[in-house]
Structure 1
Amino acid sequence: MCWMDLVGDVLPWTNSRENTQFCLVDGRRTGQCKQAETDRVLAIETKTRNFSSMDFSWCFSSPIIPILVHFLLVASLLCPVHSSEFGNAQVVNQNQTFRPEEELQKLQIIRTRLQQINKPSVKTIQSPDGDIIDCVMSHEQPAFDHPLLKGQKPLDPPERPNGHDQMGVLSENFQLWSMSGESCPEGTIPIRRTTEQDMFRASSIHRFGRKSIRRRVRRDTNSNGHEHAVGYVNGDQYYGAKASINVWAPRVANPYEFSLSQMWVISGSFGDDLNTIEAGWQVSPELYGDSYPRFFTYWTSDAYQATGCYNLLCSGFVQTNSKIAIGAAISPTSAYKGGQFDISLLIWKDPKHGNWWLEFGSGILVGYWPSFLFNHLRDHASMIQFGGEVVNSRPTGSHTSTQMGSGHFAGEGFGKASYFRNLQVVDWDNNLIPLSNLRVLADHPNCYDIQGGINNVWGNYFYYGGPGKNVRCP
């Protein structure tokens, strides 16, 4: 796969009503430009990113529009990524036959999908890490494509759980894009723009923005290459959860694996009717194209099969915050034997309307999942989980070297291992309470492990993570 940008240029604006048409940039309807301008040759801008943990071999395409699409398709098949980080991962099948009709059909599907995902913006911000952030009117975000939300606007803030400390609000400037000094106007929300490059990178266009389907989803073993080290509570009715999670940038061994740390709010059986709400941070080269840890959300009401998605890549989660971009890179991150940076997340069910809200830090509302998205979670959760998850694709036949958390085992402790602290749940009366029966479980403790504890400062906590492949995890 070539790491290339299609035409992502800003097209000339005009106030004239004569000979104008809407222009599509990365599949996004974005204002008006002169008809004459559309016939000009557009330059392809090749962006260079310097990532501390990733080296790319770049491919360059012809700037001639009539052959741009065909060249891109040929290049995407013939130019593999050479990456020291991704090692033996082979992205391109050298014996693959080039079929122009199939590739053009694929491109058309991608562009149609991009027009659904990317909404008209009133302002565009270029992030230092290469992301494009679109400021979209809040009532025009993807959530309101849902038939049950059409014509509506985001709800007002709900009542917070009792016992929730809203003092000392953490700055919203924890993401790279906001460090540019630019911000989205009130009444809009920042959305990371999805590009053709993002979708070409996906292993499946039809499942873009979703986790892989996991048959026999369980928490006492890995399924379909997904491995966990988690703390969890069950056996009661839960109406939310809260935790502080420290952020790292774990190494991911190949483009089709990921490493994440998150909270799960779960109901239903671990079969086809599983309902989950998820939030945390994630490193996913396939989804985002880099190795930055990114703030993300997820939901499903049928065990990751046909419903739900990451972030705002489908109609579902309703964002209400104008300063946080879901899916954008987090900065700073924790350093081994150095400074530790964590984020606090709270998910809880609004007692009045029944929707599940997400709060970042102490008082920064991000948005909510409407209760009608779910069947089991429409009432309450039956399990809460905290912890790490990786995909182990076993690309060379041995265990992946994708790291979880800091990449170090739990026994190394503070400043070296990753942690969750101040674990709490929300009860039936909207009270935040400490956990009383936290259990910990690691699918493969020789690869990734976990150790729990409790004290007066951190309450319930645990350290977790590991390097993946090592002498005890071949």
Structure 2
Amino acid sequence: MSSLIPKEIPKEISPSGVEHLNLRLQGGGCPSGTVPIRRTTKEDLIRWKSFSNSSGNINQYIPGETHVAGYQLKEPNGRYHGASADLTVHTPRLLTSNQYSGALMWVEGGLDYIEYGWHVNPKLYGDNKTHIFGHWTADDSLKSGCFNQLCNGFVQVSKSLALGQILTVRPITEGHMPVVPMYLYQNTYSKNWIIAIGEGKMFEAIGYWPPELFNTIKDFAPLVGWRGEVYVPQGELASKMGTGRFPQHDNVGGQYQSVASFSAVRFYNETYIGVAPYDPSLEYIVDETKYYDIVDFPYIDDEWRHTFFYGGPGQDIDGPPVENIYND
């Protein structure tokens, strides 16, 4: 496992709900020498085909369909080896089952793309719960790539965690939002793109995508980012992002328990060290500011550090804010 851990793993933002992660497989995991692989059913394949046909290319923002609120690092001659953050976890209410809503980090270069995070995606899973997910492509989703393990490419490592699992998290303090540290980073030697979750003794690599799958991001990625995302088919009203609340530019304390966030935000630089992004290099990407927004706080305190608050109601202005953040 040591070879899968980045040189610097961001410290916990608090003694938060990391130890309250409920991600282990029933029965305590897989037998020695085996790893969990989610059984793909006929219904899964039908849902996946329908979803891929309707959603278009995953790393293209389709006007009027895919709404985003995020920041990205895209410097001239940038050589990035990943991104990490502590993500608050939510179960956004969707106005229709054709939509999805979530939060993620990604690396990108040319037509190569990897993303990792959580989302509510009824077309992909057949439910309205929050799932861990990953997605990759090497040709802008024309012929290669898929979500989770619906195609060859992703190499499973963990015996107890798998992409597509329902993400159930409890905060340690009542009334606080649950937080999950998530990592997408490149191994120094193998160049594998690894995804991991948790922290300290709870840190665990789920698996990786080998560099041979890609063309541009074999050795590094020229772009990394963090964003909230809502997919809305044309003709439908847009669902909530995050908690459904807009971030505020001048009231940090009032957002801790009410607005979705990426905290302890870091990218992995050309020496594979995790560092906080710096303002001049961050590019603001929000396509519909009347529906969603994201606000950058370069430093809050030693716990939250560099934080993005993000989200918004979309067009679901009459619906209640997102309170059901657990998959009970």
Measured at CA, do residues 165 and 212 of structure 1 come closer, stay the same or move farther in structure 2, by a change above 3 Å? closer
- Which residue in the other structure is 2:259 paired with? 417
Aligned residues: 300
Structure 1 counterpart of 2:56, one-letter code? I
1:164 aligns with 2:9: yes
Q: TM-score, normalised by structure 1?
A: 0.58
Give the drift of 1:181. 4.5
- Which residue in the other structure is 1:286 paired with? 123
The structure with more radius of gyration: 1
- Which residue in the other structure is 2:225 paired with? 385
Counterpart CA distance in 1 for 2:58 and 2:270 is 32
Measured at CA, do residues 224 and 468 of structure 1 come closer, stay the same or move farther in structure 2, by a change above 3 Å? closer
Ranges of 4+ aligned residues in structure 1 off by more than 6 Å: 166-169
Counterpart CA distance in 2 for 1:463 and 1:240 is 20
Structure 1 counterpart of 2:278, one-letter code? S
Which of the numbers 76, 82, 88 marks the counterpart of 1:240? 82
Give RMSD over aligned pairs.
2.8
1:174 aligns with 2:16: no
Q: TM-score, normalised by structure 2?
A: 0.82
Counterpart CA distance in 2 for 1:415 and 1:173 is 19
Deviation per CA, 1:84-105: give whole Å up to 9, x if none.
xxxxxxxxxxxxxxxxxxxxxx
Measured at CA, do residues 215 and 233 of structure 1 come closer, stay the same or move farther in structure 2, by a change above 3 Å? closer
- Which residue in the other structure is 1:360 paired with? 197
Counterpart CA distance in 2 for 1:364 and 1:215 is 26
Matches within 5 A, 1:134-145: none
Measured at CA, do residues 241 and 200 of structure 1 come closer, stay the same or move farther in structure 2, by a change above 3 Å? closer
Contact 1:249–1:333 (CA under 8 A) maintained in structure 2: no
Contact 2:88–2:260 (CA under 8 A) maintained in structure 1: yes
1:408 aligns with 2:251: no
1:444 aligns with 2:288: yes
Counterpart CA distance in 2 for 1:471 and 1:250 is 13
Give the drift of 1:419. 0.3
- Which residue in the other structure is 1:463 paired with? 309
Contact 2:59–2:113 (CA under 8 A) maintained in structure 1: no
Counterpart CA distance in 1 for 2:118 and 2:106 is 12
Structure 2 counterpart of 1:305, one-letter code? L
Counterpart CA distance in 2 for 1:470 and 1:251 is 9
Which of the numbers 142, 153, 157 marks the counterpart of 1:316? 153
Secondary structure of 2:43's aligned partner: helix
Deviation per CA, 1:5-59: give whole Å up to 9, x if none.
xxxxxxxxxxxxxxxxxxxxxxxxxxxxxxxxxxxxxxxxxxxxxxxxxxxxxxx
- Which residue in the other structure is 2:177 paired with? 340
Secondary structure of 2:163's aligned partner: coil
1:214 aligns with 2:57: yes
Give the drift of 1:306. 1.3
Contact 1:213–1:305 (CA under 8 A) maintained in structure 2: no
Contact 2:20–2:169 (CA under 8 A) maintained in structure 1: no
Q: Which has the higher contact order (CA 8 A, sep 6+)?
A: 2
Which of the numbers 249, 266, 290 marks the counterpart of 2:91? 249
Structure 1 counterpart of 2:276, one-letter code? P
Q: Could you tell which deviates more after superposition, 165-174 or 431-440?
A: 165-174
Measured at CA, do residues 265 and 407 of structure 1 come closer, stay the same or move farther in structure 2, by a change above 3 Å? same
Give the drift of 1:308. 0.7
Give the drift of 1:240. 1.3
Contact 1:241–1:425 (CA under 8 A) maintained in structure 2: yes
Give the drift of 1:230. 0.5
- Which residue in the other structure is 2:326 paired with? none
Structure 2 counterpart of 1:283, one-letter code? V
Structure 2 counterpart of 1:384, one-letter code? V
Give the drift of 1:371. 0.1
Counterpart CA distance in 2 for 1:251 and 1:416 is 15
Measured at CA, do residues 230 and 213 of structure 1 come closer, stay the same or move farther in structure 2, by a change above 3 Å? same
Deviation per CA, 1:319-347: give whole Å up to 9, x if none.
10001021011112679x92211111122
Measured at CA, do residues 200 and 314 of structure 1 come closer, stay the same or move farther in structure 2, by a change above 3 Å? closer
Counterpart CA distance in 1 for 2:102 and 2:59 is 21
Which of the numbers 200, 209, 213 marks the counterpart of 1:369? 209
- Which residue in the other structure is 2:269 paired with? 427
Give the drift of 1:202. 4.7
Give the drift of 1:262. 0.4
Measured at CA, do residues 159 and 423 of structure 1 come closer, stay the same or move farther in structure 2, by a change above 3 Å? same
Using the aligned pairs only, state the percent identity. Answer: 29
Contact 1:215–1:224 (CA under 8 A) maintained in structure 2: no
Deviation per CA, 1:234-271: give whole Å up to 9, x if none.
10211111111010000112122111100011112xxx
Measured at CA, do residues 286 and 224 of structure 1 come closer, stay the same or move farther in structure 2, by a change above 3 Å? same
Deviation per CA, 1:110-134: give whole Å up to 9, x if none.
xxxxxxxxxxxxxxxxxxxxxxxxx
Secondary structure of 2:169's aligned partner: coil
Measured at CA, do residues 315 and 448 of structure 1 come closer, stay the same or move farther in structure 2, by a change above 3 Å? same
Counterpart CA distance in 2 for 1:389 and 1:413 is 19
Consecutive unaligned residues in structure 2, runs of 5 or more? 249-253, 319-328
1:305 aligns with 2:149: no
Counterpart CA distance in 2 for 1:384 and 1:257 is 25
Measured at CA, do residues 165 and 414 of structure 1 come closer, stay the same or move farther in structure 2, by a change above 3 Å? closer
Contact 1:213–1:303 (CA under 8 A) maintained in structure 2: no
